[in-house]
Structure 1
Amino acid sequence: MTCKKGGFVCIRHDEVRDLTASMLREVCQDVSTEPTLLPLDGELLRYRTANTAPEARVDICARGFWTRGQRTFLDIRIFDPMAASHRELSLEAVHHRNELEKIRAYGDRILQVDHGTFTPLVFTTSGGMAPKARSFYSRLADLMSVKKHQPRSSVAAWMRCRLSFSLLRSALLCLRGTRYSTPSNTDISDLDCEATLVESGIRVDRLGIE
């Protein structure tokens, strides 16, 4: 689950990135994946661990998510909570540490140079979300519900299931090392979340949707 040999960890990361970008395109403008940050021009960043590379990139950028007209930058991390480096910490502490590492790497640079906001999206390989990721997808469910004129609970339930299946599929890939063609992303422009849940037999009350 932690070995990068064969590129499986990258595949796991990329599937969540592409799914999130496809959902953002339903409600935001100017959505892109792997956008390059603006280069530094003498700015002094707060943290020594800040990413100062000229070609630094984050995973997703979208305009108008948190604030109208402003760009939001997102970077994804998926970690194995059973890894040896996490054994002495609670899950809450590991979530916080991973979020903080992302914020220190990109947050100040994006605020000062790109004049945008930064949100780290931290997941566990088993499907858990860190607090900032939960806030992000809760907001995304609100926006998609309004855009699609569908119940917010149905949109949030579909979103949670879709993310969970993406992480589960990727975890199986890492464990088994099976070679298969990367599935194409689902076209959600005409998706009826409520009908999809009914057809799948998924009960919203068992998903813990906030």
Structure 2
Amino acid sequence: MTCKKGGFVCIRHDEVRDLTASMLREVCRDVTTEPTLLPLNGEHVQYRTANTTNEARVDVSARGFWTRGQRAFMDIRIFDPMAACYQKIPLEAAHQKNEREKIRSYGDRIRNVDHGTFTPLVFTTSGEMGPKAKCFYSRLADVMDEKKHQTRSHVVAWMRCRLSFSLLRSALLCLRGTRYSAPTTIDLDGLNYQATVVESGILV
């Protein structure tokens, strides 16, 4: 659940990103995945851990989500609460720790350079949301209810179900998927197709 070999941690993260972007496209304009932030031009950032590279990017952006006309930026993190670094702290503190790390990486830069808002979307691998993620998806449900004329309780139930299944599929992939990052190749040179079909009992 924590090993990054094979890219499964990234796949888990990407599925939630794409689902969130799809929901935002239903109610917002200018929705982008992996948007590149504006480069720094002598601006001072508050924290030493801030991402100051010219290629810095977050996961999703959408215009008009929190404030009309303003661009909102969101970055997703999914962590394993059973990892060794979280075993001695409460789950709520682990959520807040991950949110603070994201805010220190991007919040100051987005606010002062991109002139947008930043919201960290933190989940556990089992589907628990951090405080800011709960606020974000609650607001998203309100906007979807208003624009789609759907019952809010149904919107919330559907949203939670989709997010839960996305995290569940990703968790199963991490637990049961192959750990080899290189694709497996099959040598077809000299392969006897007829013998292989007969020996395998494949119906023709």
Q: TM-score range by the shorter chain?
A: 0.7 to 0.9
Contact 2:98–2:122 (CA under 8 A) maintained in structure 1: yes
Alignment-derived partner of residue 67 in structure 1: 67
Structure 1: gaps (5+ residues): 180-210
Alignment-derived partner of residue 113 in structure 2: 113
* Offset of residue 110 of structure 1: 0.2
Q: Deviation above 4 Å: which 4+ runs of structure 1?
A: none
Alignment-derived partner of residue 83 in structure 1: 83
Q: How many angstroms apart in 2 are the aligned matches of 1:123 and 1:45?
A: 26
* Offset of residue 78 of structure 1: 0.1
Contact 2:6–2:178 (CA under 8 A) maintained in structure 1: no
* Residues paired across the two proteins, number: 179
* Offset of residue 152 of structure 1: 0.3
Q: Deviation string for 1:169-206 (max 9, x for gaps)? A: 00000000169xxxxxxxxxxxxxxxxxxxxxxxxxxx
* Offset of residue 23 of structure 1: 0.2
- Identity in percent: 80
Q: Which amino acid aligns with 2:160?
A: R
Alignment-derived partner of residue 44 in structure 2: 44
Q: How many angstroms apart in 1 are the aligned matches of 2:106 and 2:178?
A: 34
Q: How many angstroms apart in 1 are the aligned matches of 2:87 and 2:15?
A: 27
RMSD: 0.9
Alignment-derived partner of residue 101 in structure 2: 101
Q: Deviation string for 1:128-176 (max 9, x for gaps)? A: 0000000000000000011111100000100000000000000000000
Alignment-derived partner of residue 170 in structure 1: 170
Q: How many angstroms apart in 2 are the aligned matches of 1:148 and 1:113?
A: 33
Q: Which amino acid aligns with 2:72?
A: T
Q: Which amino acid aligns with 1:12?
A: R
SS of the equivalent of 2:93 reads helix
Q: Deviation string for 1:70-124 (max 9, x for gaps)? A: 0000000000000001011000000000000000000000000000000000000
Alignment-derived partner of residue 28 in structure 2: 28
SS of the equivalent of 2:78 reads strand
Q: Which amino acid aligns with 2:140?
A: L
SS of the equivalent of 2:6 reads helix
| TM-score normalised per structure 1 | 0.84
Q: How many angstroms apart in 1 are the aligned matches of 2:111 and 2:8?
A: 32
Q: How many angstroms apart in 2 are the aligned matches of 1:149 and 1:73?
A: 26
